[in-house]
Structure 1
Amino acid sequence: MTQAIVGVFDSFQDAETAVSRLVQGGLDRADMEVHATGQANVPGERTVVDTRSSTATTDEVGVFGKIEHFFSNMFGADDRPDEVGDYQEAVRRGGALLTVTVVDEAHVGLVRSTLHEAGAVDIDERVAQWKSNGYAGFDSTAKAYTPDEVAADRKAFAVTRESLDVGKREVETGGVRVYSRATETPVSETVNLREAHATIERRPVDRVATAADLKEGSVEIRETAEHAVVAKTAHVIEEVVVGREATERTETINETLRGTDVEVVHVGAGTAGLKTAEQERPPGTQSADDAIVKTPTKSV
């Protein structure tokens, strides 16, 4: 499946820049054509240029005829897209049309991104701008724009927008310092101590002495007493772990972003009154999400 990818550029130089990048990306230069007016052909390159300054006719072979021929070969003379005239009008207004025949579908993404990066414009947006100024379709008899007319047609007013970038920086809010030191705490404990003492008891007796009573002997009684013994043992009763815990909080930033808008006012001929007013982007600008390349396809 061969695909033809078409990009519209504001100048011949922009289109040639895209061609150079595509060649560097591995595409064949023979599969590319640049259609523009008022430029000299580059030797060895398939660049179609129309240098006519007089009124054009549909029978003449020029850049507009080449564009017509390109799409007729692709879709047939009776089934060409309606926007072919818009492509011709873009060239008439000083632009350049780059057509790339892509044989390998793997290169389609490369071609699209390369054309976008080289400055391809959104043809639909550009046509809407022309229509707001009275454009009703391509006129094959109309003259190509002069450099002054091109500059006037593309006079741009900047639409600006401020963007809000919220970052983060770390600040020190305090800290904790931990010390370990020895302490002394008076304590009181009660203990029962036991003492054993010898006792002497004399009892009156009246009896006849026996031989046992007449023997000598001795008895020793030991007296004892308990004393308090103090011993201290250190026990770990708690551990203090020093660390840092991170928490997150959400903070809402309220700011006012400034910008400028462009107001396009259509004024009736010969009157000072306002007919319509609308907000629109200035000529030549485009958003990143806009489709900038038309890709008609055809099976081969």
Structure 2
Amino acid sequence: MAQTIIGVFDTFEAAERAQTRLESEGIARAEMEIQRATTGDISATGSDPTARPVTSEVADDGRHDGPISGIEHFFKRLFGGDDEPEEIGHYHEAVRRGGALLSVEVKDEASVERVRDALYASGAVDIDSRVAQWRSGGYTGYDRNAPSYTADEIAAERKAFPVVQETLEVGKREVHTGGVRVYSRVTETPVSESVNLREERTTIERRAVDRPATAADLKEGSVEIRETQEQPVVGKTARAVEEVVVGKEASTRTETVNDTVRGTEVDVERTAGTDDSPAVDPVNKPPL
């Protein structure tokens, strides 16, 4: 079943952006219509004269008691007759206060949520919250004979007080805190070592004897005796006795960062109105 979804926007440009977004998501431009108030004659944009208008502008000479305006004609097409739900006046009031309406004809139920999400994502306002805001300023219902807001009145009503909140963002950066440089060099150290050396020498001893000579004593001969001695022999053997291993080890620690963040708060003070007429709750609100 086809449904008509209406989005309320603060400006005509915001409604146009929402229209462009929906068109990019597959909604036909002929199924969308923007209503806004402007000075001049009723006009519509679109190249196909048989198609529904894409944009309607409400003729406005300061009062709405002339011919049926574009937005009134739109709601009469939507609801038929003059017996509109009271809440429809809130949409009229939104246009009177400088807003714009974007209506979307949705042919299938599956696309309803997608269209609503796209409207809100494009800046559509919550009409209930907006009406509550108007009521705090004395609004009791739409008055067809009330003049449209001037540019100054629109700017004054929409004056924004930003609510600012700083957030603390803690990051990390690596800094050089020092290091270790290892050198390897050759050293010379004087050492001393004791060694026992053996030495052999010949000795000659003459002894006086008195005995008869034998044949052996009369033979010629010779004897050679060699003398020896030990000398120190120095040799060196290199052995690795220790290793110095160079590396890194990582550890983590938790550090608490204390700081202050700034922000602003907006206090809303309700003031008494001058009209004692009872407030009227909206009924039969169209989708969105």
The answer, yes or no, to whether TM exceeds 0.5 is yes
TM-score of the superposition, structure 1-length normalised? 0.61
Alignment of 1:1-300 (within 5 A): 6-23=6-23, 27-38=27-38, 41-44=43-46, 45-51=53-59, 53-54=62-63, 62-64=70-72, 66-67=74-75, 70=78, 86-101=90-105, 112=117, 116=121, 118-135=122-139, 139=142, 141=144, 143=146, 145-147=148-150, 148-166=152-170, 172-197=176-201, 215-238=219-242, 240=244, 249-268=253-272
For residue 10 of structure 1, report the CA deviation from its aligned partner.
0.5
Q: Are the equivalent residues in 1 in contact too, given 2:63–2:148 (CA < 8 A)?
A: no
Work out the percentage of aligned pairs sharing the same amino acid: 54
Equivalent-residue separation in structure 2 for 1:227 and 1:38 (angstroms): 124
Letter in 1 for 2:28: D
Q: Are the equivalent residues in 2 in contact too, given 1:15–1:34 (CA < 8 A)?
A: yes
Q: Are the equivalent residues in 1 in contact too, given 2:5–2:287 (CA < 8 A)?
A: yes
Q: Are the equivalent residues in 2 in contact too, given 1:37–1:144 (CA < 8 A)?
A: no
Q: Are the equivalent residues in 2 in contact too, given 1:22–1:111 (CA < 8 A)?
A: no
For residue 15 of structure 1, report the CA deviation from its aligned partner.
1.0
TM-score of the superposition, structure 2-length normalised? 0.63
Report the secondary structure of 1:267's partner residue: coil
Letter in 2 for 1:97: L
Equivalent-residue separation in structure 2 for 1:83 and 1:197 (angstroms): 139
Count of residues in Structure 1 that have an aligned counterpart in Structure 2: 263
Once the two structures are superposed, residues 151-205 of structure 1 have per-residue CA deviations (whole angstroms, 9 ceiling, x without a partner) of: 3332323333344455555555445555444422222333343444556788999
Report the secondary structure of 1:126's partner residue: helix
RMSD over equivalenced CA pairs, Å = 4.9
Q: Are the equivalent residues in 1 in contact too, given 2:90–2:142 (CA < 8 A)?
A: no
Q: Which has the higher strand share?
A: 1
In structure 2, what is the equivalent of residue 277 of structure 1?
Answer: none
Report the secondary structure of 2:262's partner residue: coil
Letter in 2 for 1:34: I
Equivalent-residue separation in structure 2 for 1:230 and 1:5 (angstroms): 107
Once the two structures are superposed, residues 197-253 of structure 1 have per-residue CA deviations (whole angstroms, 9 ceiling, x without a partner) of: 556788999988765665444444433332222223444545556666666554433
Once the two structures are superposed, residues 135-155 of structure 1 have per-residue CA deviations (whole angstroms, 9 ceiling, x without a partner) of: 56x547564642244333323
